[in-house]
Amino acid sequence: MRVAVKFAYDGRKFHGYARQPQLETIEGKIVKALMGHGFIGDTKESCFRSASRTDKGVSALCNVIAFNTDASKKHILQKLSNKFTDVVVYGIKDVVPDFNPRYAKLRWYRYYLNRDDIDLERAMSTAAAFTGEHDFSNFARLEPFKDPVRNIDNIVFTEEGNFLVIDFYAQTFLWHQIRRIISAIIKIEKGKIEKKDIIGALENPDKKVDFGLAPAEPLVLKGIVYDFEFEYDEKSLDRLNKLEDSIIRTLDVPLIKSPKSQN
Pairing status of strand 219-225 against strand 59-68:
parallel
139 in the same domain as 84 = no
Residues with catalytic roles: 55
Domain boundaries, position 131? 106-203
179 in the same domain as 116 = yes
CATH of the domain at 164: 3.30.70.660
For 105-152, how does the pLDDT look when each residue is reduced to its tens digit (9 = 90+)? 999 999 999 887 789 999 999 999 999 999 999 999 998 888 999 999
For 156-214, how does the pLDDT look when each residue is reduced to its tens digit (9 = 90+)? 999 998 899 999 999 999 999 999 999 999 999 999 999 999 999 999 999 999 999 99
This prediction has a pTM of 0.94
Q: Please count the structural domains in the chain.
A: 2
Residue 63 clears pLDDT 80, i.e. is over it: yes
- What is the average per-residue pLDDT within 48-72? 97
CATH of the domain at 22: 3.30.70.580
Ramachandran sector of residue 262 (left: φ over 0; alpha: ψ -120 to 50; beta: rest)? alpha
Residue 219 clears pLDDT 90, i.e. is over it: yes
Give exposure, 87-121, as e/b (b: 16+ Cβ within 10 Å).
bbbbbbbebeeebebeebeebbbbbbbbbeebeee
114 in the same domain as 90 = no
Residue 260 clears pLDDT 50, i.e. is over it: no
